[in-house]
Amino acid sequence: MKKGLEGPPPADRPTPAGRRNKQGIRIDPEVEATHEPRRTVISALVTHEPGVLSDVSGLFSRRQFNIESLTVGPTEDEDHARITIVVEEPDPGIDQIEKQLRKLVPVISVRELEPDAMRRELALIKVDASRPDQVAAVAEMYGGKTVDSSPETATIEVTGARQKIEAAIDTFSQFGVREISRTGTTALARGTDRTAASSTAQPADEANYEDQYTHTANDD
Amino acid sequence: MSERAAKVTPADDEQDDDQITDSAAPDAVTEDDAAGDDAESPAEPVTTGAESVVRALENAGVEYAFGVQGGAIMPVYDALYDSDIRHVTMAHEQGAAHAADAYGIVSGEPGVCLATSGPGATNLVTGIADADMDSDPMVALTGQVPTEFVGNDAFQETDTTGVTTPVTKDNTFASDSDRVGSDVSEAFALAREGRPGPTLVDLPKDVTNGETDREPDAPTVPDTYQVQERADSEIVDAAAERIENCARPVMLLGGGVIKGEASEACREFAIEHEIPVITTMPGIGAFPEDHELSLEMAGMHGTGYANMAVTHCDTLIGIGTRFDDRLTGGIETFAPDAEVIHVDIDPAEISKNIHADYPLVGDAETVVEQLSEAVDSSPEAKKWRAQCQQWKSDYSMAYDAPEDKPVQPEFVVEALDEATSDRAIVTTGVGQHQMWACQYWTYTEPRTWVSSHGLGAMGYGLPSAIGARLAADDDQEVVCIDGDGSFLMTLQGLSVAVREELDITVAVLNNEYIGMVRQWQDAFFDGRHSASDYGWMPEFDKLAEAFGACGFRIDDYDDVAETIDDAIAYDGPSVIDVHIDPDANVYPMVPSGGDNGQFALTEDQL
């Protein structure tokens, strides 16, 4: 009669010296790279059809990608829409996001934007109007504009890079902020560089600058 | 058009055969027909959306469709009534999806399943998700309430495209009777192009009932879907250099090898360069397991030698695999010394779970041929091969089968293998029996192993045997190795097998447990058998008889060989209720997230 499974038990077996990190990358002690999350902007050109936004947002949620903001709007071509996504992930995750997005059939092209890309967000900030002149002064400081006022409130529209909006909100908070509504970031590449027409992937490392947002916070 | 599919086309239907072969150019069909001497009259022009849907299926070469009738899909069924497509009415939609899935695995062409809206569509979801996880080509067509009711929670309404978005390669809500046929054609093209997968078209009743004279377009994928066939030649050269100079190479063949028809190219490459070969579970059959270089399957219940080899290799050539956690165990300890060459047609699989040092995006067969041309000399790995052979003898697969104990499941799997030809097709449910079927059946040919890998859907066995039977050649036996729990989930499919007179042998390895759960409960939950004890199982042989199938029962070793022979010889569906040792467990085993090289050979080693 046959004998059951035999062989040296686990403790008696040789084990390799190497290890991989959580991203499946082999760890070489001499050039060990850690992958900290970084924030970046991904722009996707998609066919303008029902369900495409749900395809994209569903992809992000089921794959547990950490999404910061997502905006969508029409483009110069009425059959196309542009989706701008701000994400915070380690580089392998950003790479994976781009690849997964490209797999969606309605997605035409995807790229990560350069750090110098133009990024804009719009915020509506409703504050108490007890000190209208000071509110106006702060609004002017951020290039904002008062779009509504009542005896008790003033609503200011501010556009700019995310950091500028944050700074504006911070400054307005001295008057008492009642409500805020923000659009999330939309972005375009600079100059003649096409934002999402090219299907060539951008190497993740190229845009891997730290503090990219602080560098471009006052680029308007 | 696969050779197999062409073969089963009735000989007196040559004209239809032309239509099928010429599916890329439907306009040419009528010309061909007209050119024939005694050709049948050209196909009637379509008059409704539903007819256009069926025409699209015909143009794509569909022979079988698996489904269940219902309110919202009725127009399509009405159009099918006049078609040569053979509709196989299933007893449950889950079975329809699994049957279509298995048909796709065995034939290589997308299997088709149909269901009505609401519950019909949701019952398909398990099978669709299964096809998605395993990248099986499949087209699902679902009825939908009329467009004007959509969104109103109408009777039998479900947001089917919403529900299936995460589990389909692509899906479409058909909104236009003039477009609907082309939607189906496109779904077909997408299902098989590049990395295969399930696609779905949701068909509102007014769209399929609506008038149209539009013939469907040829099955083509949208412009935005682009597949890279050839890998970057610089990386191919670098990978080739790595292979030439490494000392401990291993080829890891995944399901993509079989789907990409790359088995032959991989065999030639491995044998020419004498590289040991491991498969994943979906890759079983890509390489002959009786070959000296084969180390069989790696992973949680893979062989000890495969797991030793994958752990200690210095170069891992992974082809068509997504590095699922059941294969890798803990990422940190997976092939930790290996430089990874990863061939995959889906760029998103590269470095998703395991970082690829040499990413080769492209069609598996093409890229292996590229590699083959680029590799000038074989690696000097004699010592490594000897080591692998040593592991093969150190950790050989074996089991105890004492006469005084109930029948051991491994013995039954081996007996079934022995009683059938090399080309026999095995389908399984999910659980212990599935692992024994992996471990103790010797697979030598691609497309002979049909199982639910990624999703692990219990109940897969019987319906997949139905789909496999219809896709298989007549001389290929189809054996379903099932578990009692798995079989119970979809055994209503026996009615289908009986009605269709399908020659299928089902061997139910009956231990009156959800066995894999019981095994884990013994190992990790102090033996507390919470809800895994199935002591209330019916007598499957008698149940089979009630359905009109042939029932057998095995209680001890003396019955095994003869009963199996009788069951296989029976020309129709037969069920063997095999009462196995309820305490039998599956080993080796790598605990979830563990180190592949630290596989346990017994429960004590967990």
The answer for B274, left when phi > 0, alpha when psi is -120 to 50, beta otherwise, is left
pLDDT computed for residue A128 by the predictor: 95
Cβ–Cβ gap B597/A4 under 8 Å: no
**Does residue A13 lie in a domain region?**
no
Q: Are residues B204 and B95 in the same domain?
A: yes
**Does residue B26 lie in a domain region?**
yes
Q: Which residue has the higher pLDDT, B478 or A4?
A: B478
Banded model confidence at residue B264, pLDDT cuts 50, 70, 90: very high
Residue B382 annotated as catalytic: no
Q: Are residues B434 and B296 in the same domain?
A: no
Cβ–Cβ gap A99/B350 under 8 Å: yes
**Does residue A107 lie in a domain region?**
yes
Strands A186-188 and A118-128 turn out to be: antiparallel
pLDDT computed for residue A33 by the predictor: 65
Single pTM value for the model: 0.91
**A contact test, residue of B332, B344, B436 with most A CBs within 10 A:** B332
**Does residue A194 lie in a domain region?**
no
| ω into B588 cis (within 30 of 0) | yes
Interior/surface letters B155-181, b for 16+ CB within 10 angstroms, e for the rest: ebbbebbebbbebbbbbbbbeebebbb
Average pLDDT over every residue of B577-602: 96
DSSP state string for B337-350: T-EEEEEES-GGGT
Average pLDDT over every residue of A141-155: 95
**A contact test, residue of B179, B296, B355, B384 with most A CBs within 10 A:** B355
**Does residue B595 lie in a domain region?**
no
Banded model confidence at residue A197, pLDDT cuts 50, 70, 90: low
Q: Does A133 touch chain B (CB under 8 A)?
A: no
pLDDT computed for residue B17 by the predictor: 44
Closest CB to B165: pick one of A16, A21, A55: A55
CATH of the domain at A109: 3.30.70.260
Average pLDDT over every residue of B494-498: 98
Q: Are residues A81 and A94 in the same domain?
A: yes
Q: Which amino acid would we find at residue A164? A: K
Domain span at A124: 118-186
Q: Is A211 exposed, middle or buried (0-12, 13-18, 19+ CB in 10 A)?
A: exposed
Q: Among residues B330, B360, B394, which one ends one of the domains?
A: B394
Q: Are residues A147 and A133 in the same domain?
A: yes
What does the alpha-carbon distance between residue B460 and residue B131 come to, in Å, rounded to a whole number?
A: 11
**Does residue A2 lie in a domain region?**
no
Average pLDDT, chain B: 94
Residue B369 annotated as catalytic: no
Tell me the pLDDT tens digit for each residue of B126-185: 999 999 999 999 999 999 999 999 999 999 999 999 999 999 999 999 999 999 999 999
Average pLDDT over every residue of B315-325: 98
Q: Are residues B551 and B436 in the same domain?
A: yes
How many CB atoms sit inside 10 A of residue B191's CB? Answer: 29
Cβ–Cβ gap A24/B353 under 8 Å: yes
Q: Does B232 touch chain A (CB under 8 A)?
A: no
Closest CB to B399: pick one of A2, A21, A47: A2
**Does residue A180 lie in a domain region?**
yes
Q: Are residues B387 and B455 in the same domain?
A: no
Q: Are residues A86 and A138 in the same domain?
A: no
Gap from A138 CA to chain B (nearest CA, Å): 46
CATH of the domain at A146: 3.30.70.1150
CATH of the domain at B390: 3.40.50.1220
CATH of the domain at B472: 3.40.50.970
Banded model confidence at residue A32, pLDDT cuts 50, 70, 90: low
Contacts of B401 (CB under 8 A, 6+ apart): A1, A2, B408, B410, B411, B557
**B contact test, residue of A1, A3, A5 with most B CBs within 10 A:** A5
Domain span at B364: 233-394
Gap from A19 CA to chain B (nearest CA, Å): 5
Q: Are residues B386 and B429 in the same domain?
A: no
What does the alpha-carbon distance between residue B229 and residue B133 come to, in Å, rounded to a whole number?
A: 22
The backbone torsions φ and ψ at residue A74, rounded to the nearest 5 degrees and listed phi first, read -70, 165
Q: Are residues A89 and A136 in the same domain?
A: no
Cβ–Cβ gap A24/B304 under 8 Å: no
Residue B251 annotated as catalytic: no
Contacts of A8 in chain B (CB under 8 A): 394
Q: Are residues A140 and A113 in the same domain?
A: no
Cβ–Cβ gap B331/A20 under 8 Å: yes
- Can you tell me whether residue A31 is helix, strand or coil? helix
Catalytic residue among B31, B148, B155, B292: B155
How many CB atoms sit inside 10 A of residue B540's CB? Answer: 25
Rg, chain B, Cα only:
24
Q: Are residues A47 and A107 in the same domain?
A: yes
**Does residue B596 lie in a domain region?**
no
Closest by alpha carbon to B117, among B57, B168, B150, B71? Answer: B71
How many CB atoms sit inside 10 A of residue B383's CB? Answer: 10
pLDDT computed for residue A208 by the predictor: 32
Residue B156 annotated as catalytic: yes
Q: Does A205 touch chain B (CB under 8 A)?
A: no
Residue B257, pLDDT > 50, answer: yes
Q: Among residues A117, A133, A166, which one ends one of the domains?
A: A117
| Tokens read off for B219 | 């099955």
Q: Are residues B336 and B472 in the same domain?
A: no
Q: Does B304 touch chain A (CB under 8 A)?
A: yes
Q: Among residues B209, B241, B267, which one ends one of the domains?
A: B209
Residue B24, pLDDT > 50, answer: no
Q: Are residues A104 and A80 in the same domain?
A: yes
Tell me the pLDDT tens digit for each residue of B45-75: 999 999 999 999 999 999 999 999 999 999 9
Average pLDDT over every residue of B595-605: 95
pLDDT computed for residue B173 by the predictor: 97
Q: Among residues B162, B193, B209, which one ends one of the domains?
A: B209
Residue-level length of chain B: 606
Q: Are residues B501 and B441 in the same domain?
A: yes
Residue A210, pLDDT > 90, answer: no
- Closest CA in chain B for residue A201: B347
pLDDT computed for residue B43 by the predictor: 78
pLDDT computed for residue A170 by the predictor: 96
Q: Does B597 touch chain A (CB under 8 A)?
A: yes
Average pLDDT over every residue of A3-10: 91
What does the alpha-carbon distance between residue B471 and residue B111 come to, in Å, rounded to a whole number?
A: 9
Gap from A201 CA to chain B (nearest CA, Å): 11
Residue B11, pLDDT > 70, answer: no
Gap from B209 CA to chain A (nearest CA, Å): 23
What does the alpha-carbon distance between residue B425 and residue B461 come to, in Å, rounded to a whole number?
A: 12
Q: Are residues A91 and A162 in the same domain?
A: no
Q: Are residues B377 and B413 in the same domain?
A: no
Cβ–Cβ gap B399/A4 under 8 Å: yes
**Does residue B432 lie in a domain region?**
yes
| Tokens read off for B383 | 């010592």
Q: Are residues A79 and A139 in the same domain?
A: no
Closest by alpha carbon to B262, among B345, B205, B161? Answer: B345
Report the number of distinct structural domains present in chain B. 3
Closest CB to B304: pick one of A7, A51, A58: A7
Banded model confidence at residue B41, pLDDT cuts 50, 70, 90: low
Residue B252, pLDDT > 90, answer: yes
Q: Are residues A46 and A105 in the same domain?
A: yes
Tell me the pLDDT tens digit for each residue of B159-173: 999 999 999 999 999
**Does residue A19 lie in a domain region?**
no
pLDDT computed for residue A211 by the predictor: 32
Tell me the pLDDT tens digit for each residue of A41-74: 999 999 998 889 999 999 999 999 989 999 999 9
| Tokens read off for B42 | 């050209």
Report the number of distinct structural domains present in chain A. 2
Q: Are residues B99 and B178 in the same domain?
A: yes
**Does residue A162 lie in a domain region?**
yes
Q: Which amino acid would we find at residue B417? A: D
Q: Are residues B248 and B322 in the same domain?
A: yes
**Does residue B158 lie in a domain region?**
yes
Average pLDDT over every residue of B572-598: 97
Average pLDDT, chain A: 86
Average pLDDT over every residue of B453-457: 98
- Closest CA in chain B for residue A8: B394
Q: ipTM strictly over 0.90?
A: no
**Does residue B267 lie in a domain region?**
yes
**Which of residues 36 through 55 in chain A touch B, CB cutoff 8 A?**
47, 50-51, 54-55
Banded model confidence at residue B272, pLDDT cuts 50, 70, 90: very high
pLDDT computed for residue B5 by the predictor: 43
Q: Are residues A72 and A48 in the same domain?
A: yes
Contacts of A21 in chain B (CB under 8 A): 331-332
Cβ–Cβ gap A108/B224 under 8 Å: yes
Gap from A96 CA to chain B (nearest CA, Å): 6
Cβ–Cβ gap A105/B401 under 8 Å: no
Q: Are residues B390 and B415 in the same domain?
A: no
Tell me the pLDDT tens digit for each residue of A74-101: 999 999 999 999 999 999 999 999 999 9
**Does residue B20 lie in a domain region?**
yes
Residue B392 annotated as catalytic: no
Tell me the pLDDT tens digit for each residue of B359-404: 999 999 999 999 999 999 999 999 999 999 999 999 999 999 998 8
Banded model confidence at residue B317, pLDDT cuts 50, 70, 90: very high
Contacts of B337 in chain A (CB under 8 A): 16-18, 26
**Does residue A9 lie in a domain region?**
no
pLDDT computed for residue B588 by the predictor: 97
Q: Are residues B552 and B517 in the same domain?
A: yes
Banded model confidence at residue B119, pLDDT cuts 50, 70, 90: very high
Give the containing element (helix H, strand E) for B568. helix B557-569
pLDDT computed for residue A196 by the predictor: 72
Question: Considering chain B, what percentage of its residues have pLDDT values greater than 90?
Answer: 92
Catalytic residue among B138, B308, B516, B589: B516
